């Protein structure tokens, strides 16, 4: 009963927003800190952005020359190398956000997500001048102009992959998406325009036209040449993606996705356009990886199929699940763990071996071990989404007790139920 009512109020759009549905005991509603955090609204994103930007600026010796050769106060993030790790982490956060739409919200198991990332990067490479080699681009536009096309190509690829394959059940979809990744990668490996496995060198960096000059060392006008400057591109992109997904989650579309994820048959019986919504999830998920691909192509200036191994598709899925399926903060945390953890292990080990085990080469082994441990002790992920936690607390509560006030039947529903009851009694009387 509760599930049916849930679904109906979903469709009627009078379901409370995810951000408002916080039952007692799950998250501390009365906590003043939490209330304050909610009250500032979009200010939250601003705070987050400032923190994310402050870290690289404060440790970049290129911006603050005094930092040259000084250990940064934040452990494991040291100087130029640390900032490069941050940029890569940022790109992975974008990817994880996109994938969390596909896997977390719509419940479609996508094991080839990095294929979209790759398409975005290659589209960028084809459209910008690349190192004087004529054959590796179709048009010679400035890097920034390639962004909409990178996104467009990814969205179209998402639709093209989605339409024929979304009839398939979960696990079949997984292998088909995995195959899609391999098809894209091998094709790039074999064509002449992609220069095969040798890759495309010398991709132009974006000229954002902003007079970015922090400190005195690297002040090339507008062109993103310093690693830290890339954070100025990544952080707004991440924030925008978060806002977009947050709004989608609470929109009619997001509820359709949840309905499909929980029970596809029931959802389609309730009139959810299942295939359309699945394709939409694929397309929206692919769009953020288009942005990520565009950023990666400009940042690395060199791309080859080896930058996009199958392993990454698997790792990014691991990031989303380990963080907490369907949770935005979980996706961010997962991406940070996947990229950051191996680096932390590398730093912390300092080249020492323990009983012949070398943490530097074995860091993926450690990561794998942690994956298993996390899944055993927190099957829902580190930051299980609020909705999932509500469901869990409802399940553990005694049957019939509904914690959430707003999930009680509405007045209309009660009247409807009463009228049915009366009808039934009248018939019995006859």
Partner 1 sequence: MTGLILGFLYALIALGYTMVYGVLKLINFAHDVIFATGGIAVFYLFGLWLGITEPVTGAELALVVTAALLIGGLASSGAAAALERLAYRPLRRRNAARLSYLITAIGASFFMTYMYQQDFLLGTGKRSFPNFMDRQSAVTEDFLGTRVTDIMFLVVVTSIVCLIVLDRFINKTRTGRSIRALSEDITASQLMGVNVDRVIVTTFVVGGFFAGVAGVLYGMRFGNVVFNMGFIPGLKAFTAAVLGGIGNIRGAMVGGLTLGLVEHLSSVCIGSEWKNVVAFSVLVLVLIFKPTGIMGERMGG
Residues that bind partner 1 (CB under 8 A): 103, 109, 164-165, 167-172, 174-176, 178-180, 182-183, 186-187, 189-190, 310, 314, 317-318, 321-322, 325, 356-358, 361-365, 367-372, 375-376, 379-380
Backbone CA torsion sign across 245, 251, 252, 257: positive
Beta strands in 74-140 (DSSP E): none
Backbone CA torsion sign across 256, 259, 264, 269: negative
Cβ of residue 334: shortest distance to partner 1, in angstroms?
Answer: 10
Are the CB atoms for 76 and 239 separated by under 8 Å?
A: no
Non-local CB neighbours of 252 within 8 Å, separated by 6+ positions:
13
Kindly state the DSSP code that residue 168 receives in the 8-state scheme: S
- Strand pairing partners for 207? 223
User: Smaller CB distance to partner 1: residue 91 or 111?
Assistant: 111
User: Smaller CB distance to partner 1: residue 196 or 273?
Assistant: 196
- How far is residue 138's CA from residue 153's CA, in Å, rounded to a whole number? 14
Are the CB atoms for 340 and 55 separated by under 8 Å?
A: no
User: Smaller CB distance to partner 1: residue 16 or 362?
Assistant: 362
Cβ of residue 10: shortest distance to partner 1, in angstroms?
Answer: 21
Residue that the structure tokens 């590398």 belong to = 346
Cβ of residue 385: shortest distance to partner 1, in angstroms?
Answer: 12
User: Smaller CB distance to partner 1: residue 182 or 250?
Assistant: 182
User: Smaller CB distance to partner 1: residue 212 or 345?
Assistant: 345
User: Smaller CB distance to partner 1: residue 272 or 384?
Assistant: 384
Q: What angle separates helix 310-323 from helix 114-127, to the nearest 10 degrees?
A: 120
Are the CB atoms for 279 and 163 separated by under 8 Å?
A: yes
User: Smaller CB distance to partner 1: residue 168 or 217?
Assistant: 168
User: Smaller CB distance to partner 1: residue 90 or 340?
Assistant: 340
Cβ of residue 322: shortest distance to partner 1, in angstroms?
Answer: 7
Cβ of residue 324: shortest distance to partner 1, in angstroms?
Answer: 11
Cβ of residue 374: shortest distance to partner 1, in angstroms?
Answer: 8
Cβ of residue 418: shortest distance to partner 1, in angstroms?
Answer: 38
Cβ of residue 206: shortest distance to partner 1, in angstroms?
Answer: 32
Closest CA to 124 of 152, 99, 96: 152
Cβ of residue 342: shortest distance to partner 1, in angstroms?
Answer: 11
Closest CA to 319 of 333, 340, 300: 333
User: Smaller CB distance to partner 1: residue 5 or 387?
Assistant: 387
Residue that the structure tokens 């450690």 belong to = 366
- How far is residue 364's CA from residue 348's CA, in Å, rounded to a whole number? 15
- How far is residue 427's CA from residue 430's CA, in Å, rounded to a whole number? 5
10 Å CB burial of residue 111 (0-12, 13-18, 19+) is buried
Q: Could you tell me the end-to-end alpha-carbon distance of the chain, in angstroms, rounded to an integer? A: 29
Cβ of residue 258: shortest distance to partner 1, in angstroms?
Answer: 15
User: Smaller CB distance to partner 1: residue 61 or 107?
Assistant: 107
């Amino acid at each position: 009963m509760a599930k049916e009512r849930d679904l109906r109020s979903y469709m009627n759009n009078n379901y409370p927003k995810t951000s408002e549905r916080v039952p007692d005991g799950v998250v501390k509603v009365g906590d003043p800190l939490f209330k304050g955090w909610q009250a500032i609204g979009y200010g939250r994103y601003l705070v987050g952005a400032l923190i994310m930007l402050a870290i690289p600026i404060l440790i970049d010796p290129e911006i603050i020359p005094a930092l040259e050769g000084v250990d940064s106060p934040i452990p494991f993030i040291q100087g130029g190398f640390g900032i490069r790790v941050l940029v890569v982490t940022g790109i992975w956060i974008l990817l994880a956000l996109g994938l969390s739409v596909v896997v977390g919200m719509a419940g479609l198991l996508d094991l080839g997500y990095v294929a979209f990332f790759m398409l975005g990067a290659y589209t960028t490479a084809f459209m910008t001048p690349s190192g004087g080699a004529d054959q590796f681009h179709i048009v010679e536009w400035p890097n920034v102009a390639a962004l909409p096309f990178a996104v467009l190509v990814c969205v179209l690829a998402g639709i093209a992959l989605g339409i024929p394959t979304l009839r398939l059940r979960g696990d079949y979809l997984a292998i088909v998406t995995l195959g899609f990744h391999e098809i894209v990668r091998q094709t790039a490996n074999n064509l002449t325009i992609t220069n095969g496995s040798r890759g495309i060198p010398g991709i132009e960096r974006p000229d954002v036209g902003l007079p970015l000059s922090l400190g005195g060392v690297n002040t090339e006008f507008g062109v993103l040449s310093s690693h830290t400057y890339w954070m100025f591109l990544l952080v707004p992109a991440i924030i925008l993606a978060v806002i977009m997904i947050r709004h989608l989650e609470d929109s009619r579309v997001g509820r359709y996705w949840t309905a499909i994820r929980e029970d596809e048959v029931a959802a389609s019986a309730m009139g959810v356009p299942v295939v359309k919504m699945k394709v939409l999830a694929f397309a929206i998920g692919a769009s953020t990886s288009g942005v990520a691909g565009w950023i990666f192509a400009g940042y690395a200036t060199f791309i080859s199929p080896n930058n996009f191994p199958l392993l990454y598709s698997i790792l990014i899925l691991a990031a989303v699940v380990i963080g907490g399926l369907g949770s935005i903060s979980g996706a961010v945390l997962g991406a940070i763990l996947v990229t950051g953890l191996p680096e932390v292990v590398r730093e912390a080990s300092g080249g020492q071996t323990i009983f012949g085990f070398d943490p530097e080469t074995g860091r993926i082994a450690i990561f794998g071990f942690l994956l298993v441990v996390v899944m055993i002790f927190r099957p829902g992920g580190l930051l299980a989404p609020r909705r999932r936690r509500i469901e869990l607390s409802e399940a553990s509560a005694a049957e019939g007790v509904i914690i959430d006030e707003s999930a009680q039947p509405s007045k209309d529903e009660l009247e409807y139920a009463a009228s049915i009851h009366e009808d039934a009694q009248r018939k019995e009387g006859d």
